[in-house]
Amino acid sequence: MSYRVSELVDRYQSDAASPFQKLCHQTRVERARILARIKREHGNKHLKQIGSTTTARWAANWEASGKAAGTNKLVSTLREVVRYGNTALGDRDCKRLLPALEGLQLQSSPPRNVRMTEDQAIAIRNKAREIGYFSVALAQALQFELRLSQKDVIGEWVPLDEPQASDVTLGKCKWVRGINWPEIDESLILQQHGAPPVNLATAPMVMEEFHHVPDWQHDAGGPVIVCEHSSYPWHAPEFRRIWRSIADLCNVPKDVRNTDV
């Protein structure tokens, strides 16, 4: 049997044993968008018709139509699908194609050397509190001093059928991954998601922001970062929008991102 690209992509996405199923929800959503483009552009191709010249031409066309980062994502996703076909399905065409995909020479994206400064983090925290976004100020402190990702701090909303357990639900979604008050003990040790424990008492920005957290919110347990407008954890796009508007008020350059910590 010679799989079509679309058939192999579908197997990769639906197989319970596929690496695709082990990705977090948002990564699966982003990966599915890339897979949809691969299917749309090359789904009817049989794997037996594809060789190193074909994959090189696809990569060149992707590079010509977009940025290097986008091309790298397309190629790495296609490589992952073919690797799955080789290891999980034992497909001979996938075994033949894998070296060609691994050997593709792609244009590298320029490295990002931008880092948020301590002064910028302080300015964002102060401005966030000034306009009533105490949650954003605390999130900024946690991200900057603990070098955590936005997702590790504010969490994410995922469909109810995702495997992670959660006590926080809203409509057809539930909140997972972010910092919960029960993960911070009486000695201010944060133990999150099996990561190494962190002594928050050694993080002065975090300690300063804790003074602005209402007692009722701490006593209620649950998520640490809660949107002032909804009393629920933030949705990531809205958090990024508000964070950027606060950063603009502080004259933080556009090339400094919330993730540059």
pLDDT tens digit sequence for 28-56? 999 999 999 999 999 999 999 999 999 99
Q: Which of 72, 10, 32, 233 is nearest to 58 (CA)?
A: 72
Residue 255 in any domain: the answer is no
Residue 92 DSSP SS3:
helix
Residue 148 in any domain: the answer is yes
Question: Helix crossing, 52-65 with 92-102: angle to 10°?
Answer: 50
Residue 144 DSSP SS3:
helix
Q: What is the per-residue pLDDT for 233?
A: 97
Phi then psi for residue 223, to 5 deg, are -65, 140
Whether residues 243 and 130 fall in one domain: yes
Whether residues 235 and 126 fall in one domain: yes
User: How many domains does the chain fold into?
Assistant: 2
Residue 88 in tokens: 């999980």
pLDDT band at 212 (very low <50, low <70, confident <90, very high): very high
Residue 244 in any domain: the answer is yes
Mean pLDDT is lowest, of 5-14, 62-71, 102-111, 203-212, for 102-111
Residue 254 in any domain: the answer is no
Task: Show which of 67, 102, 137 is a domain's final residue.
Answer: 102
Whether residues 126 and 234 fall in one domain: yes
**Average pLDDT, integer, range 168-180:** 95
pLDDT of 109 over the 70 cut: no
Whether residues 126 and 86 fall in one domain: no
CATH number of the domain encompassing residue 87: 1.10.150
Give the tens place of pLDDT for each residue, 121-130.
999 999 999 9
Contacts (Cβ under 8 Å, ≥6 apart) of 55: 78, 97, 100, 101, 104
Task: Show which of 75, 102, 129 is a domain's final residue.
Answer: 102
38, 77 Cβ separation under 8 angstroms: yes
Whether residues 137 and 227 fall in one domain: yes
Whether residues 203 and 232 fall in one domain: yes
Task: Please name the residue ranges forming H helices in the chain.
Answer: 5-14, 25-42, 52-65, 68-87, 92-102, 118-130, 134-146, 150-154, 204-210, 215-219, 236-249
Q: What is the per-residue pLDDT for 178?
A: 93
Q: How far apart are CA 184 and CA 199, in angstroms?
A: 9
Contacts (Cβ under 8 Å, ≥6 apart) of 123: 250, 252
Give strand ranges (E) for the chain: 156-159, 169-170, 173-176, 189-190, 198-199
Residue 187's beta-bridge partner residues?
none
Identity at 189, one-letter amino acid code: I
Q: Which of 254, 244, 260 is nearest to 124 (CA)?
A: 244
Q: How far apart are CA 175 and CA 166, in angstroms?
A: 6
Whether residues 60 and 88 fall in one domain: yes
Whether residues 82 and 178 fall in one domain: no
**Average pLDDT, integer, range 70-79:** 93
Task: Show which of 102, 130, 157 is a domain's final residue.
Answer: 102
Dihedral sign from CA coordinates of 162, 166, 167, 168: negative
- Secondary structure letter of residue 21 according to DSSP: G
Whether residues 171 and 221 fall in one domain: yes
Residue 258 in any domain: the answer is no
Residue 216 DSSP SS3:
helix
Of 216 and 174, the structure prediction assigns the larger pLDDT to 174
Residue 70 in any domain: the answer is yes
pLDDT of 247 over the 60 cut: yes
Residue 145 in any domain: the answer is yes
Whether residues 125 and 226 fall in one domain: yes
Whether residues 191 and 245 fall in one domain: yes
Q: In terms of residue numbers, what domain contains 72?
A: 5-102
Residue 167 in any domain: the answer is yes
